[in-house]
């Protein structure tokens, strides 16, 4: 897993982000984002453990949003890392564009997107 996490370029990003599981919901401080997941600061009342599924909504400046179903893969007292399990076409398009703007390279993002699709096909997602 750690090799896979490292294979995707993470970009620091600040946006309103909400994480939910069932009837629980947290407003979290986003640290960074990649095509394969996000990292955020752990909220004070956090009690979710690795392996659990979470829904994530990142609201962008123009009020559009990126929604993803994710799995918590690691957490410390300070940070929580989630891997994307499913993301809809509109959300992946916005996320891809966001990363392109921050990296300045369409070609690099296309390679990462291809790697992400290959990883998900191998995992059966």
Per-residue pLDDT at 2: 42
Report how many domains make up the chain.
1
Least Cα distance to 10 among 31, 30, 32 occurs for 32
CB atoms inside a 10 Å sphere around CB 27? 9
Mean pLDDT (the chain, rounded)? 86
Least Cα distance to 76 among 106, 107, 46 occurs for 46
Per-residue pLDDT at 17: 97
Q: Summarize pLDDT for 35-64 with one digit per residue, the tens.
A: 899 999 999 889 888 999 999 999 998 889
Domain containing 75 equals 2-123
Cα 21 from Cα 105, distance rounded (Å): 34
Beta bridge partners of 40: 30, 80
Q: Summarize pLDDT for 4-39 with one digit per residue, the tens.
A: 444 688 899 999 999 999 999 999 999 999 989 999
With 0.75 as the threshold, say if the pTM is over it: yes
Contact 34, 43 (CB under 8 A): no
Q: Summarize pLDDT for 76-97 with one digit per residue, the tens.
A: 999 999 999 999 999 999 998 8
CATH code of residue 9: 2.40.10.220
Per-residue pLDDT at 120: 64
DSSP letters for 13-44: ---EEEEEETTEEEEEEEEEEETTEEEEEPPT
């Amino acid at each position: 897993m750690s090799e896979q996490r490292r294979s995707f370029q993470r970009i620091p990003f600040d946006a309103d982000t909400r994480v939910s599981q069932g009837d629980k919901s947290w407003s979290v401080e986003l640290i960074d984002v990649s095509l394969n997941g996000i990292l955020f600061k752990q909220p004070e009342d956090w009690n979710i453990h690795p392996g659990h599924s979470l829904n994530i909504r990142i609201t962008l400046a123009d009020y559009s949003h990126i929604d993803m179903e994710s799995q918590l893969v690691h957490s410390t007292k300070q940070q929580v890392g989630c891997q994307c399990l499913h993301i809809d076409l509109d959300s992946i398009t916005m996320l891809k564009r966001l990363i392109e703007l921050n990296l300045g390279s369409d070609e690099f993002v296309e390679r990462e997107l291809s790697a992400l699709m290959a990883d998900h096909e191998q995992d059966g997602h």
